């Protein structure tokens, strides 16, 4: 029996009638396939979260202790300011730029707390569009897939520049430079601060220097996405490029996430820091960023940011966090070496030594899409069809099985 609204709407088009089902997210769709697999030897190397030796994503001890303090100290759950937790924002500036950085001392940096790095990218896209509606956003090829929908949402035009050499497994720096040399004022180039997702190939200090000089000459604005500070070479080393750019250029944008290095994935903790040419411009960018944030999500979540601020502000908690972060970093780098050694033992025709030289949680295996599908269907090893793997999904108990599976599809 038809309901009344169905009879009334029979001759009209409803609002959502034109929508068609979309394909599942490329990464989360694989996670769903993995969850339905009943094979006891299955291995998930797809989703980008850190995992320990037991395959769990732990809550760091520093985070647990700080969370207890936050809960005990809080007397209200009312809204925080539009720009978020002021102490968190200040500490993030210190973490990113350093307490004695000239741009910070000159009052050229403004920071707004955001719901994760994704929230920061959304605010970045909107403020770029507000300031330069005709701006072009240049993304590395390859880049994190979510960069495209987040940065194109306001209507900005997206382009790509060469970045990764899939054959030789290194940065195509000369090709990258050739493209960037054609850009100019009104162009925004997105750079990965460290631990490039998805390829794991990071810019060297010398390459950062060349880019900083070129950006200055061409009037290009960098937008640096920093999702993995501390997981490449170290907390200070991983922001070398950011500090150099902020020293060399009149303006830039940094979007930072605390999901990975604090294990606060579901708390959505991030920030956008904008470097302006002078203190007066800083006030304008802060007011605009806050106005944009108000229009997108109104107020940022408080819990995770309060935890991070507490860790930054208490010496013992900070020391504990730095130690735990170092252990995560060292484990990932050791897993890279372990996988390379295991594959080398199998005397394969394909060279995988490049994996040990890359950084962060991700690398491309460099195998074909049919081989990736065979890994999944024949060996129950799940990875993204681009052959990107999450190194943290490997552990002592599955590395031989994974290595045998890779050998089995070559």
Active site (catalytic) residues: 144, 225, 260
Cis peptide before 39 (omega within 30 of 0): no
**Cα-flanking dihedrals φ and ψ of residue 134, to 5°?**
-95, 10
CA nearest to 226, candidates 212, 240, 211: 240
CA nearest to 187, candidates 252, 239, 110: 252
Give the list of residues 6+ apart from residue 248 with CB closer than 8 angstroms, or none. Answer: 212, 213, 215, 216
Query: What is the DSSP annotation of 59-114?
Result: PPHHHHHHHHHHHHH--------TT--HHHHHHHHHHHH-TT-HHHHTT-EEEEEE
Contact (Cβ atoms closer than 8 angstroms) between residue 290 and residue 354: no
CA nearest to 191, candidates 231, 147, 156: 147
Q: How many CB atoms are located within 10 Å of the residue 322 CB?
A: 15
Contact (Cβ atoms closer than 8 angstroms) between residue 189 and residue 183: yes
């Amino acid at each position: 029996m038809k309901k009344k609204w169905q009879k009334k709407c029979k001759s009209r088009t409803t609002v959502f009638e034109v929508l068609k089902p979309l394909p599942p997210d490329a990464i989360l769709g694989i996670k769903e396939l993995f969850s339905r697999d009943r094979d006891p030897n299955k291995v998930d190397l797809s989703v980008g979260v850190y995992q320990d030796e037991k395959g769990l994503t732990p809550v760091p001890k520093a985070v647990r202790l700080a969370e207890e303090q936050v809960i005990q100290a809080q007397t209200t759950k009312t809204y925080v300011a539009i720009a978020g937790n002021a102490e968190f924002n200040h500490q993030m500036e210190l973490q990113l730029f350093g307490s004695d950085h000239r741009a910070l001392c000159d009052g050229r940096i403004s920071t707004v707390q955001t719901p994760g790095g994704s929230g920061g990218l959304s605010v970045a896209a909107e403020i770029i569009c507000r300031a330069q509606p005709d701006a072009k956003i240049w993304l590395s090829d390859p880049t994190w897939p979510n960069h495209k929908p987040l940065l194109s949402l306001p209507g900005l035009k997206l382009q790509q520049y060469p970045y990764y050499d899939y054959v030789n497994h290194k940065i195509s720096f000369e090709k990258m430079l050739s493209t960037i040399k054609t850009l100019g004022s009104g162009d925004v180039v997105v750079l990965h601060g460290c631990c490039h997702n998805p390829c794991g190939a990071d810019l060297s200090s010398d390459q950062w220097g060349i880019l900083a000089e070129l950006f200055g000459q061409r009037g290009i604005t960098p937008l640096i996405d920093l999702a993995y500070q501390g997981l490449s070479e170290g907390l200070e080393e991983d922001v070398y490029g950011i500090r150099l750019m902020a020293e060399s250029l009149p303006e830039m944008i940094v979007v930072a996430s605390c999901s990975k290095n604090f294990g606060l994935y579901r708390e959505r903790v991030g920030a956008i820091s904008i470097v302006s040419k002078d203190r007066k411009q800083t006030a304008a960018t802060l007011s605009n960023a806050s106005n944009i944030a108000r229009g997108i999500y109104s107020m940022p979540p408080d819990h995770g940011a309060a935890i991070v601020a507490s860790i930054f502000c208490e010496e013992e908690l900070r020391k504990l966090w730095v130690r735990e972060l170092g252990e995560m970093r060292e484990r990932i780098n050791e897993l890279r070496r372990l996988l390379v050694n295991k594959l080398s033992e199998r005397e394969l025709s394909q060279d995988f030594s490049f994996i040990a030289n890359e950084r962060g949680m991700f690398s491309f295996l460099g195998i074909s899409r049919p081989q990736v599908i065979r890994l999944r269907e024949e060996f129950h090893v799940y990875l993204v069809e681009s052959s990107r793997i999450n190194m943290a999904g490997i552990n002592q108990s599955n590395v031989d099985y994974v290595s045998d599976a890779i050998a089995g599809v070559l």
